[in-house]
Each structure stands twice: as C-alpha cells, then as structure tokens.
Chains A and B, each alone.
Chain A
Amino acid sequence: MPMDEVKALTVVGRLDSLGLISEFVTRAAQDAGFDESAVYAVDMAVDEACANIIGHAYGGEGRGDIEISYRIDEDGLTVVLRDHGRAFDPTGVPHPDLDAPLEERGEGGLGLFLMRRLMDRVEYESRPGSGNILTLVKRHETTS
C-alpha cells in the first residue's frame, strides 16, 4: 500500500462527472485497505459532497471545476474537495429529525447528515481567492 501519496483529479462540476469521481475515490478507499462497507461509506459521502458543490456552491451544472485529491496514510484516507463557487458550509446545516413521522419528513440536510455520519471527520474552510475546501477523513478502525 503506497503511503503518503497524493493523487488528484479535476472534473467539471456536472452531475455526469459523479461516476468518474466515484471510481476515483472508490479506488482510493480500496488502496487505503478499507473493507467493502467503509469503501461504500467514502463513495457515498463524496457523492453527497459533490452534489452539494454543484447544487449549492455553484448553483447549477457546468459553472466551475471540482478538484478532488486524496492522501493515504497509516491512519486512513483523507479526501479533499475544492471548488471555486459560493461559500457554502455544509457543516453548519442542521441535522434532519430522524424520528419525525412521515408527513413531517422534509429530508433537507439528509445528504449532509449522511456525510457526517459516514466519515470520521468533516471540515470546511472557505478562503477568499482560493475557494472552498472540504476535507473528509475516514480512519481505520482501531482494535483495542
């Protein structure tokens, strides 16, 4: 397993780029040595993150690029997503009420909720001039 290797991919922020992004991060999670369930978690979290970038930061398709890079180290996998759209802090979106009855389930914030539940760390940073940076970390489970 290559350690501390950074790989990157830049795609146009369109929904039809999601397949390519999924292949890229799935391979990353597999290379990092995660089991099928964790690979699925990373795949899903990144899909949600990219859908948010396209829908919220860019406000539509084809309005800017998404840069995805990852690093594998002994703790696990770090995926960094960068865009140059509007600042949109997914970590500030409130959790949906998961116990609410059917008629009250609006499902806003569901993707963000999933992202946070599926990953060990989700951090957002917006820097004027250098865009929005979302860092997603998945750690190996430690055996005690």
Chain B
Amino acid sequence: MEVTTEALKRCHVVRATGRIDSQTAPQLEEAFRALTREWHYKIVFDMSGVEFVSSAALRAMIDTQKTCKQRVDGELVLAGVPERIYETLELTGFVPLFKFFENTTEAVGSF
C-alpha cells in the first residue's frame, strides 16, 4: 500500500493505492492524522487505486470523518471508490456517512 497527500488551495487529497489491510491501515490513519493535527479538516480520499480495505481501514476513515465533522465545513469525502470497496461500505452501513464523487476533480470542487 502506498499513501500520498497533496495540498490544494481548498482542501487536501489523500491518495492510497493497493491493499489497506490490517497491517497497512495504520499508514492511512497516520496520513489522515497528519492533516487533522495541522487543522486541515477538508479532505478528499481518492480511493480509485485501492484494491482492498479491512475493518482497520474503515475505522481510520470513520475516526477521521468524526474529527473533520466537528469543524464547520470540515468533511472527509470519497472519490473514485471501486465497486468492490463500495460493496464493503454498503455491508457495514458506511454509505450514508460519506459523500461519494466519481473522481477527485469533482470531489475537490465540492469544497
């Protein structure tokens, strides 16, 4: 799994690729925390290159969403979610807790 963060004018984009399993999920968690620690609460999570998510990855996403939503205009939004990953989010009742966008451009535009 690789995770990168890009700073844009209006928000930050966290991009992960590969498997976010129980071993690699802490890297994702840290990427999110590095942003919220610096008071950045508008985050796009580009999931288009994600092949696998474990419950640890889902927990990192929900924890970050909680932190972001405590701030006015703060939010973690999801972009390019692959079908398989979306099925997992549905199974766990996560779909209503996030906004979904086709791609990063649209997600960034939402802020």
Contact = CB atoms under 8 A, between A and B. Distances in A.
A98 interface: yes
B84 interface: yes
A98 B23 CA distance: 24
Nearest to A100: B93
Nearest to B61: A107
How would you classify the secondary structure of chain A's contact residues: helix, strand, loop or mixed?
helix
A102 B66 contact: yes
B34 interface: no
Query: Interface majority SS on B: helix, strand, loop or mixed?
Result: helix
B92 A113 contact: yes
Contact of A44 (B23, B54, B65, B93): B54
Given A19-B21, A98-B93, 13 more contacts: A18-B23, A19-B19, A47-B21, A47-B54, A51-B22, A51-B55, A99-B93, A102-B69, A103-B66, A105-B62, A107-B59, A110-B58, A111-B56
